[in-house]
Amino acid sequence: MTQPSKPTRNAASTRERILSVAQHHFKVNGYDACGLRDIAADAGVNVALINRYFGSKVELFQKAVVDALQVDDLLSGNKDTFGQDIASRMTWNDFDDDDFDPLLAFVKSLGSPAVGPLLSARLTDHLVPAMARWIGGKAAKERAALILSTLLGFDMLRRMAKLDSLQNGNRKAIVALAARTLQGYVDGMPEQGDRSRPAKSRPAKR
Amino acid sequence: MTQPSKPTRNAASTRERILSVAQHHFKVNGYDACGLRDIAADAGVNVALINRYFGSKVELFQKAVVDALQVDDLLSGNKDTFGQDIASRMTWNDFDDDDFDPLLAFVKSLGSPAVGPLLSARLTDHLVPAMARWIGGKAAKERAALILSTLLGFDMLRRMAKLDSLQNGNRKAIVALAARTLQGYVDGMPEQGDRSRPAKSRPAKR
DNA sequence: GTCTATAGAAAGATAGAC
DNA sequence: GTCTATCTTTCTATAGAC
């Protein structure tokens, strides 16, 4: 029995355990609604240790969630099939188990005045630029931001709000529509010659 | 001086004032991060009155935010110009003043375990069905949910995260792209004959 | 109709013993 | 390296005086 599962008196291991449990709690309840006491209890350690190792609740959140936020796994595929690939992945059956999902933690905590600014900064400084660099072209940052807003908005309604239409609805239709949207953002502007609007009248409405 | 601005000893007026201030606070800080004391102070009344009139913080939120959530103003236009109309409106210069915005309060509070379920229910029972009825056609609920996820995701990044690319970026490009997305959801499925993917190989990736 | 006063719980953080 | 004990603040909610 030499598994290092919980070797009493090992700072590194304890730190990792706290971090892992914190990620889970932040993902489920968001920043404001989860307490250090609950995290400590789940991690099997004392509350005091959290502040000892991380300084404060905000700094714990920084290490557990903010630093973990990245878009690299979205950018590993083919640009021509990005829409299809990501749309399919978005609609996968929930793997709501233990595996950490920083994106969901992001959505659940963005509203908090305490850590919202941290998440915004991460978005501005890393996520958007990284995706913009990958897609390239004109208005790359705007298009990158639209892609992220699509993913986050979808997750917000599907997994946070547990909206049935998106969770158990017509998956094929959802994937087709979302894929078109995402691919449209990657490919760029509709220019003018798009067949989208057949030059309808469009009288000066309001 | 007979303005009913703050007629001491008027329950109805006081109730309205509390409600209005609460809407503002919920919109700015979200449910979890704002206290009844702050709301009472801003409203110029005593904390006890809030519970007296509304019963509890959750019930206050119900009246102030949940009941105010609706999509009627989105459905008053022409279906053929829905994309353009809404995309333009989404990107308006911020009117962050006092006027209440239930959609923003929604996004800021959805993560809260205390009121998240209330917001989900409102979405499922009213917002999605109302929009689905309006757009009609196949997979209407799924398309309605996608429209709402687009609006909420955009607001989340633009107004909550204050993402610069969406707030001060190339507005023309954003409107064009978002309009195409939204109109696509209203019009429905791409069917198969869309020119989107030129029958690329797409080898069984991963 | 509105207030004071307070109960009662829970939060984050810290000092210091073991 | 980890824990006990405690400080301080803040929260929602309620009972009851004015």
Classify residue B140: in a domain, yes or no: yes
| pLDDT band per the 50, 70, 90 thresholds, residue A206 | very low
A97-103: average pLDDT? 84
Domain contains A115 = yes
Q: Confirm whether A152 is domain-assigned.
A: yes
Question: What was the pLDDT predicted at B11?
Answer: 84
In angstroms, the separation between the Cα of residue B51 and the nearest Cα of chain A is 21
A182-203 average pLDDT score: 66
| Beta carbons of B61 and B31 less than 8 angstroms apart | yes
In a domain, A193, yes or no: no
For residues A177 and A100, what is the distance between their CA atoms, to the nearest angstrom? 27
- The predicted-structure confidence for B114-146, as pLDDT tens digits, reads as follows 999 999 999 999 999 999 999 999 999 999 999
Q: A175 and A85, same structural domain?
A: yes
Residues 154-173 of A with CB under 8 A from B: 154, 156-158, 160-166, 169-170, 173
Any idea which residue has 């963005």 for tokens?
A110
Note the pTM of the prediction, 2 decimals. 0.91
- Per the structure, the complete domain to which residue A27 belongs is given by 12-64
Q: Residue B180: its chain A contacts at CB < 8 A?
A: 184, 190, 194, 196
A134 belongs to a structural domain: yes
Task: Compute the distance between CA of residue A182 and CA of residue A185 in angstroms, rounded to an integer.
Answer: 5
Work out the percent of chain B whose per-residue pLDDT is above 70: 86
pLDDT score recorded for residue A162 = 95
Distance separating alpha carbons of residues B86 and A206, to the nearest angstrom: 13
Chain B: residue whose CA lies nearest to A157: B149
CATH number at residue B43: 1.10.10.60
- Confirm if B102 and B65 have CB atoms less than 8 A apart: yes
- Domains of chain A: total: 2
State the average pLDDT over residues A173-181.
98
Q: Does residue B144 form part of some domain? A: yes
